Structure 1
Amino acid sequence: MATLKGKTLFITGASRGIGREIAIRAGKDGANVVIASKTSDPHATLKGTIHSVAAEVDAAGGKGLAIQLDVRDDAAIDAAIKQAADKFGSLDILINNASAISLTPTLETPAKRYDLMLTVNARATFLCSRAAIPYLKESAKAGRNPHILTMSPPLSMKPEWFQHYTAYTMSKYGMSMCTLGMSAEFAKDGIAVNSLWPRTTIATAAVEVHFPEEILKASRTPEIMADAAHVILTSESRKTTGNFFIDEKVLREAGVKDFERYALNPGTELFQDIFVD
């Protein structure tokens, strides 16, 4: 069976939601997992810290390392990536999961919010990838199957994906453009660079805060993204790059037939996520 055993993963925004689930799934394989997020102390309303998730990775059978990281700080990114590689002896996988969201039209998007989304989404994806790539090149030379996987949508120039939240779309598509460019740039080095996006909304804190309650109830759990990520990350890096994957399609092609188990409320008609045609 395909496994991540012994591989080192660096996951941004992993203190909760999709990042947490990917971390735990990798931990079940016996992977080394770096939980790189801002939340070091418990939040008043949101569950999860870098320390609690690192402990969950350990309990699952892996080795967790908690690193407090603000992905807006380029020097801190470089230091965290180096710390991870030094700790475990290699860096094999980068998951660009950290993201900021504001589904607001132009006149309701202040400069501060615009800057936050562009910095946390597009800029951080570029800088984390940039910091990781020298280590991923070494991973490729050692035959360790390196991957960059970014939680961002398929690129589309349809106005419908811009007209209601232009700033957010720009920031998420900036992440996807990193996939488009870097997959071609580093294909010769054997580094896989792909994006993954859900077909349906996922029951995360972001959906709970930014969407109506009925959409949250019509969502799937983050486990579907973790399982899809696992399929991608265990695929051959030299043959699986430059893709904009959709979670359900990845799993169907891998032979999964029961998707009801991923529903937050089985039997409920699911809500399709944005950016999915």
Structure 2
Amino acid sequence: MRSEPVQVARLLRLGEGLRQAHQDLAREGLTRLNRQQHTLVGALSRQARTLAAEAGHPLGEAAQRKVEETLQRSSPIRRRKLGPQLSAADESLVLYTLPCTNYPEVFAPDQLADPFSVVRPSYALHEVPLPDLRPEDGPKVTEPITLGQWVQAAGEVRVTLVNGGRAADFHCEFTGLLPHSLYTVMSVRRRDLDPSGPVRPGPLGVPNVLIADHKGNGSYHARMPNPFPDPEVAAGDRIMNVVLLWMSYQQNYAGAIGWFGLGGDVHAQLRLRGPSFAEFVTHA
């Protein structure tokens, strides 16, 4: 296996990303990474068989399975569902970014038209290399971020129709956030959830930024034009959910939610439990 150090290194990085996908609860990222891991294990296994044959020691089926099992163990993945109460070990888990783009959509077409060509390693959230940062600039997020801290967040969204039903005010209050951190607020619309052809989600207002204070509190307000068109109208792309995103690169992206999607450079910390706001109807 020493003949293929690059692929072995990629496999190990995938293992790091898969652990983070579990910690971030990024199901789509986990699916993509599992698929990549399966592809890499298969390629390395075939190369091992070829190298062994060239060396005059062809591998039998049992030996081939042993190679694949060894490769799987080199990227330790354990599937399990977190319970309502975290164990002490789970609470102390340090959170990481994912090392790849996890979605087929391009999230920021004007800023990064080909995100799939970018390869980044998996970083601990507090060690993400912020663009142009110098130590003397005073970075505020410097300590490891754990799963126990992450799940302390809570929030409330209040919606009020205004302008005769042509717009709606969204008032958001949050507690338990990561102190001194940059967050953004994302809207999820009906077409974003269409499995046959999802589109990129967008901000809940622009700019969509809030900064958590030293106690982890934050608030956000946006007035959105016609956010809840009649659901019976085919073109009615209603807002269905609101998501609070922690920005690991401590920046926002104007009309995009980020460059790489959940787990890459934006991290969903809070959302409503399911599709919401059915009681509201607005008009243009």
**TM-score (structure 1 length as normaliser):** 0.22
User: More strand per residue: 1 or 2?
Assistant: 2
The structure having more radius of gyration, on CA atoms, is 2
